[in-house]
Structure 1
C-alpha cells in the first residue's frame, strides 16, 4: 500500500469512527472523479484510479473535468446540508434597559454583559444594540444569544488593554495560550450569533495595538518568541500566560470551541489583528459580512482555524493581510492539538485589498482539506494574490482537495495563483507538508505580473495541481514553476496563447 493510500485509508477510518457522514468520500483526489484504488467505501471496493498521463511536470492522473466537477458539486451539496445556522427565540433584551448609553462616551461594558446574562438565563434570544455609539470593553457571548446590532449602531471598543482582562484561553497565530480576550469572545458555547447591520469598531490605529507589531520596544516580538518556545518545550497551555505586561494582540472576534455559529450582516473594522476568527468550531455560517480593515498589520478578514463545516458567502472584504484564510494550528502546538480545517464553502464574495483573496495557511499543521471556492470576484492594485496556498517544512500537515471555480480577478499585484512550500523562506525541516489535489477551473484574470507561482521543494514537490478552462490576460512575466509533480494545464490561455501541457 502506498503512503498516500495509507494516509487516505486512515483518514477514512478516523472519519467513520467519529460518525462523520462524509467519511465515504475520503481519499478523493479529483483524479477524474475516481477514488484511490483499493479503498473500501460503503461496503464495496472503489474502482482503480484512472490512467496516468505524462507531462513536462511529471506523471499526472488522467483528468475528466466534467466528472471531477460533478463529484465536487456533490460534495459541496453534502457540506451545505450539514450547515444549519442557529435559530433564536423571539425574546429581545435591549442593552439600554440595562444601563447602556449610546453617547460615544459612557462605558457600557457592564450593561451589555448584564443583557447577555439575562438573555442566556431566559433560555436564549436576541440582545439588541440599538442605534448609537456604545463604548465597551470585552463582550463575552453565552449559549443561545444573538448579539444583534441594529442599523446605525456601533460598538466602539476600548483602546485600553486592561478592558480585555482577565486573560482567556485563546489561540495566537496558531498556538494556544492565555491572553487578552478578543473584543467579542465565546468559549465552549452553542447557538451563538452576531447579526444586524451595525459596526464592530476595533478602533486600532498606529498608537493603539498596531504599534505592538514592530518598531521600538515594547513590541510583540519577544512574546511571540517565548510562546513558540513554550509550545516547542511542551509547556502546558495553562502556564502560557500573557496579557498584562505583554504584547500579543487580541482578535476583534474569536469564538473558541463553539458549535452552531452565525455571523451575518455586520461590519468589522480596524481590528488589532485578525478580524473574525472561529477556532475549533463546528457548523459556522458567515454571511453578508463586510470587513473594512485595509490598513492594519496581520489584519486578516475571516480566518477559520481547525473548524469543520464552514460556509462563507456574500461577504465584502478589504484587509491589510489575507481576506479569507483557512488555518489549522502552527508547528509543535498544531501537532499537539492536531485538528484540521475541513469541509468549507466560500461563494459569492468580493475581495479588494489583501495579501491573498482566498488562502490556505500558513498555519497548516493540523491539515486543510475539502475547501470549495465558487463565484468570487477579486480586484485591487493592493491585492497581491487571488488564490494563495502557503506552508513550509516546519508547519507540515495535509493540504488537499481544494477546488476553486468561477473566480474573476480584475487586477492583482503579484501572481494570480500562488502555491508555495517555502513560506517565510523556510526550506528545510522535519515536517514537510503533503500538498496535493488542487483544482482551479473557469478562473479569469485581467492583469497581474504573472499567472502562476508554484514552488514545491526538491524533496517535497507539489503534486496534482490542475487548471482547467482558465484565462490569464495582461500577464507581464513568465510563470514561475519549480518542483511540481503532475501539473496539468487544460484549456489554459495566457495572453492569448494556449498553455496546455
Structure 2
C-alpha cells in the first residue's frame, strides 16, 4: 500500500493531486457541491473579434518612451467601438497607469513586456482605491478599472511594476527594502488614513498621493463585474498585486506572480462575490492569496463580505501564508473552498492562515480545504491567530465557525496546528479529516477553541486525538 509519505512525494513532484483516502461518491449534502455551483455561475467575459494595436495609436517600442497616451487612446477606441482587444505586441513598452473600460481586453502578447513608470507623478490624478482595507483617494493602481463590466488582462507576456529597493519599496520604512534613516516612509500617512477610517471621515476628504508614500496596488478593478486576468506574468509589484474590490464574478487563472517586496500579496479579493483563482504560481513577499473585506471602522461602514471563493490547482512558494483569510476582514468572509494546491518553501510561513483580532471583528466561516500537499512551511500547516496585530484590545468579537481540512499532507513544519482564539471570542468547529503532518518539531498549540475534531490525523506518524 502506498504510504502517505510516498504519496506526498508523488503529489509534490508530479503535481497529481490524488486523494489520500478513497472517496465515496459525493453525497447530496457534500459541501463541495457548493464550490461547483460557484464556478458554474462565474461569467467569463467575451469580446468582439476586433484588435486595437497600441502602435496604431502612437506607442513606441523600446522601453524608453512613455506610451501612456497611446494606451489610453487604444482603450477609448476599443470601448467606443463596442469592445475587443487592446493588443500589446512583442517588445518592451514603458507606460504610466492603464485604465481599462467596459468590454476591453488588454492582451499582452508573448515576448511583450509592459514596464510601468517609476515616476510617481504619472499616477495622478488621485483615484478611489482601498488601501489596507480602508477607502481613500490615492495614486492610481498600475492597471485600474472603476465600475466597468466585462474587462480582462490576458496573454502570455509580462507586466513589470519596476518596484525595487530604489523605487516604491523603500516607502515601507524597512532597511532590507532600501529605506534609510532620515528618508520618508508610509508610517505617518498610514496612521492618518486608519484614523480617518475609524472617524468616518468622508472618503472624498481622505486625500493622499504625493508626499504620503502609500504605494499603489498593481491590478485593481473597483466595483466591476465579469473580470478576467489570465496567463500573464506579474513581477516587481509596488504593493498588493491582484486586488479586485467590491467586484462580482472574477476569474484569476494561470498567472505567474513573482515579487519579493514588502506587502506584495499575490491575490487579494476584497469584499468580492463569486471568485475563481486557479492554476496560478505565487512567489511573494507576503501572503500568496489573502481574502479580505475591509479594516476596522471603515470595514463596518462599507460592510460587504467576501464570499463564494474557489481556489484550485495553485502553487505557492515563498510568502507569509499559502491561503490566508484576513487580516482586513471586518466585513466577514464566507464560503471559501481550496483544493489541489501545492505549497513548499522554507520561506513560506504557513500553509493555511486565518488572522483576525478584536479591532476587526467580522463573522467568518464555512471554509473547506482538501487535497493540499505541503512540502515544508516554517511555522504551521494550519494557523488561526486572533492575536494578530492589536490582538484582544478592541471592543469587537471576531467569529470563526467551520474550518474543515481533508486529505492534507505536510513534510515539515514547526507546528502541525497553531489555533488561538481569544477568551471572549472562541473559535468553533475545526475538523481535520485524514491528514498527515510529518517532521513536526513542536506539536500543536490550541487555545480558546471549542468543538475541534480529528478523524485520522497523524503527526510524525502517530495518531493524534483532539484536545
The Cα of 1:65 is off from its aligned counterpart by: 10
Cα deviation digits, residues 241-300 of structure 1 (max 9, x gap): 11122111101111110000000000000111101100100000001011011x200010
Aligned to 2:226: 260
User: Of the candidates 350, 360, 373, which is equivalent to residue 395 of structure 1?
Assistant: 360
Cα deviation digits, residues 37-96 of structure 1 (max 9, x gap): xxxxxxxxxxxxxxxxxxxxxxxxxxx998889521211121111112100000000001
Aligned to 2:19: none
Q: Is the 8 A contact 2:145 2:220 kept in 1?
A: yes
Counterparts of 1:362 and 1:310 in 2: how far apart (Å)?
19
Secondary structure of 1:182's match? coil
Aligned to 2:345: 380
Matched, 1:135 2:105: no
Give runs of aligned pairs for residues 55-134 of structure 1, distance below 5 A. 70-134=29-93
Q: Is the 8 A contact 2:283 2:316 kept in 1?
A: yes
Secondary structure of 1:115's match? helix
Counterparts of 2:187 and 2:218 in 1: how far apart (Å)?
20
Q: Is the 8 A contact 1:65 1:468 kept in 2?
A: no
Secondary structure of 1:231's match? helix
Aligned to 2:205: 239
Matched, 1:158 2:117: yes
Cα deviation digits, residues 79-130 of structure 1 (max 9, x gap): 1111121000000000011111121111111001100000000000000000
Structure 1 gap ranges (5+): 1-63
Matched, 1:411 2:376: yes
Cα deviation digits, residues 398-422 of structure 1 (max 9, x gap): 1100000100000111111101111
Change (3 A) 1:69 1:455: farther
Secondary structure of 2:110's match? coil
Counterparts of 2:188 and 2:79 in 1: how far apart (Å)?
40
Matched, 1:465 2:430: yes
Cα deviation digits, residues 1-48 of structure 1 (max 9, x gap): xxxxxxxxxxxxxxxxxxxxxxxxxxxxxxxxxxxxxxxxxxxxxxxx
User: Of the candidates 190, 196, 207, which is equivalent to residue 224 of structure 1?
Assistant: 190
Counterparts of 1:103 and 1:186 in 2: how far apart (Å)?
26
Question: TM-score w.r.t. structure 2 length?
Answer: 0.92
Counterparts of 1:193 and 1:69 in 2: how far apart (Å)?
35
Change (3 A) 1:69 1:274: farther
Counterparts of 1:185 and 1:120 in 2: how far apart (Å)?
15
User: Of the candidates 163, 172, 181, which is equivalent to residue 131 of structure 2?
Assistant: 172
Aligned to 2:7: none
Aligned to 2:459: 494
Change (3 A) 1:439 1:69: farther
Q: Which runs of 4+ in 1 moved over 3 A?
A: 64-70
Cα deviation digits, residues 152-180 of structure 1 (max 9, x gap): 01110001110100000000000000000
Aligned to 2:414: 449
Aligned to 2:20: none
Matched, 1:440 2:405: yes
Counterparts of 1:223 and 1:428 in 2: how far apart (Å)?
23
Give runs of aligned pairs for residues 196-215 of structure 1, distance below 5 A. 196-214=155-173, 215=179
Structure 2 gap ranges (5+): 1-22, 174-178
Q: Is the 8 A contact 2:32 2:337 kept in 1?
A: no
Aligned to 2:243: 277
The Cα of 1:428 is off from its aligned counterpart by: 2.4
Change (3 A) 1:68 1:222: farther
Q: Is the 8 A contact 2:359 2:390 kept in 1?
A: no
Question: TM-score w.r.t. structure 1 length?
Answer: 0.86
The Cα of 1:240 is off from its aligned counterpart by: 0.2
Change (3 A) 1:419 1:263: same
Secondary structure of 1:243's match? coil
The Cα of 1:218 is off from its aligned counterpart by: 1.2
User: Of the candidates 478, 486, 492, which is equivalent to residue 443 of structure 2?
Assistant: 478
> Which has the larger displacement, 420-429 or 181-190?
420-429
Aligned length: 437
